[in-house]
Amino acid sequence: MTARFNPPEPQGMKRRDLLQMIGLIAGGSALYNAMTTLGFAADSQYTGPVTLRGAPAGTRIVVLGAGWAGLLAALELRDAGYSVQLLDYNDRIGGRAWSLRGGDVYTEMGGETQRCEFDSGLYVNPGPWRIPYHHRGVLAYARRFNVTLEPFIMVNYNAYVHSSRHFGGKPKRFREVQADFHGHVAELLAKATSKERLDEAVSREDQEKLLAALRSWGALDENYAYRANFDSAERRGYEVNKGGGLMPPPLPSTPIGLQDLLNSNLWEALNSGQIHQWQSTIFQPVGGMDMTPKAIGREIENLITLNAQVKQIKQDERGVTVSYVDSRTGKDARQVRADWCVCTIPLSILSQLDMNVGAPMSAAINALPYESAVKTGLQMKRRFWEEDDAIYGGITFTDLPIQQIAYPNTSYNKPGKGVLLGTFAFGDPALSLTGMSPRLRVQKAVEYGAQIHPQYATEFENGISVAWHRVPGAMGCAAAWDSQLQAAHYDNLAQLDGRIVLAGDHLSRGLTGWQEGAVLSSLDAITRLHKRIVNG
């Protein structure tokens, strides 16, 4: 669907030469802008560091929420010369960019408290856990704050795809399902092509090329059949793998039949790494997703008030008054007076706060339901997925309510313990898991996971579960936009309303639930706010 626009090359000069010249004369960001214009690097709307100049002296801005959007707003507005205060409900910064480690204590709504019992160095990211290569905003701040990244494995050919209702409930390896699905489809297409049933779609001359392509893509034999042989084994794996010396000679494995494969729905998992947000390369910060927010927080520590529960946001002709209490006690009422307000509080909460904005923004705030998600971290006595199953990082997909098992993308091939993501449930099944006590959620994660990895029965030590609808400062995973809601409310939600502007991943198109959505929304919001302040 992408219309490829190729601008004419400047005469007598290659594109690369032109770019080099622009880079030399005008510096990196000009080079980037030029590259974008010429059709490269157009995979992000991040346009480089914001530069806000000419802030009127003494202008006060209150920022609500110390997740990505609020932290960046506070940081960049302070750097621009504004007098900034940042309030957050939690006793920590980072919002949903959060990591749980041994010793952490977490109390969810409903009052149940969990203590994380992980060993030192082990963690789980209950919120965002991956940074795609084209999330240039997040990557730029990670670089600026010297956060070390490592690869996040999205597609692991040796991880499992699992249906509890097919193949006797035994999991299949991703590579087997992919090789067999491609192989069978290639064989079908090859048959149709050679019987000249595709005449209308493919010219005679192209039919031969198509047959060659299908043979290569699907690992077909000389008769365009997909079957057990060394070609298909090179894709799906061997019955007896290659060896040395007098070890037994290799034997190809037997493909799964097309009908069984179609009925199992396992093919649905093949596309997980094909979609733009999940294509390689993807990163994670070494040590936990909260590394970057924490680093930003250290830079602006003196601006931040934690444990501040906002109760009321009132604007008048001259400014904004934010009333808050101590979120731990509900007492100690205080107020912040500022000239302007950047509010990144999730709409699940904002829709219940006393706030005077215009009817269009108010309607937008009240229109959005929030998605459910549940993650459960499980500490295991040994890294059996590596030792026994040769699964290093990546994700297993299943039709069980846990939906995914994700393996740690770090410390590979080391002895000792490890933490699995034992549940990543989303949508309505996640709502059902949320309704359980955290202890039961962990127990279910172990029971379901044991259907795929029987080692759970002996290796499980402890676990912790986060259900996003019960997270006290979030009350939901992410705003559930659809096209009708977008058409009716998106612009109204994003506009500056008097002295208040909203920001956060809920104000992104197609990036809700992504840190990049929060970054781009925040930079856009503060840029517009700054213009309004400077230009009147």
Partner 1 sequence: MKFLSIFILFTLAVSLPRAHSADAMKVTMPGVGEERAFPQTQGADLYQAACQACHMPEGVGATAAATYPALAKDPRLKPKAFPITRVLNGSKAMPSFKATLSDEQIVAVVGYVRTHFGNHYSDTISLEDVKALRQ
- Alpha carbon distances (Å) from 155 to 173, 371, 391, 409: 11, 25, 11, 12
Cβ-based neighbour number of residue 322 at 10 Å: 25
- Alpha carbon distances (Å) from 87 to 48, 189, 291, 362: 27, 60, 20, 22
Q: How far is the CB of 437 from partner 1 (least distance, A)?
A: 8
Q: How far is the CB of 442 from partner 1 (least distance, A)?
A: 16
> Quick check: 485 and 347 in contact, CB under 8 A?
no
Q: Using the Cα atoms of residue 375, residue 380, residue 383 and residue 389 in order, give the sign of their dihedral.
A: negative
Query: Which of 99, 309 has the CB closer to partner 1?
Result: 309
Q: How far is the CB of 101 from partner 1 (least distance, A)?
A: 22
Query: Which of 156, 379 has the CB closer to partner 1?
Result: 156
Query: Which of 347, 445 has the CB closer to partner 1?
Result: 347
Q: How far is the CB of 27 from partner 1 (least distance, A)?
A: 33
Q: How far is the CB of 447 from partner 1 (least distance, A)?
A: 17
Query: Which of 103, 427 has the CB closer to partner 1?
Result: 427
Query: Which of 352, 458 has the CB closer to partner 1?
Result: 352
Q: How far is the CB of 56 from partner 1 (least distance, A)?
A: 32
What tokens does 21 get? Answer: 């010249």
Q: Residue 347 corresponds to which amino acid?
A: L
> Quick check: 93 and 71 in contact, CB under 8 A?
yes
Query: Which of 386, 399 has the CB closer to partner 1?
Result: 399
> Quick check: 154 and 273 in contact, CB under 8 A?
yes
Query: Which of 59, 348 has the CB closer to partner 1?
Result: 348
Q: How far is the CB of 154 from partner 1 (least distance, A)?
A: 9
Instruction: Indicate the burial class of 212 (C-beta count within 10 angstroms; 0-12, 13-18, 19 or more).
Output: exposed
- Alpha carbon distances (Å) from 68 to 49, 92, 239, 364: 15, 13, 49, 22
- DSSP, res 320: E
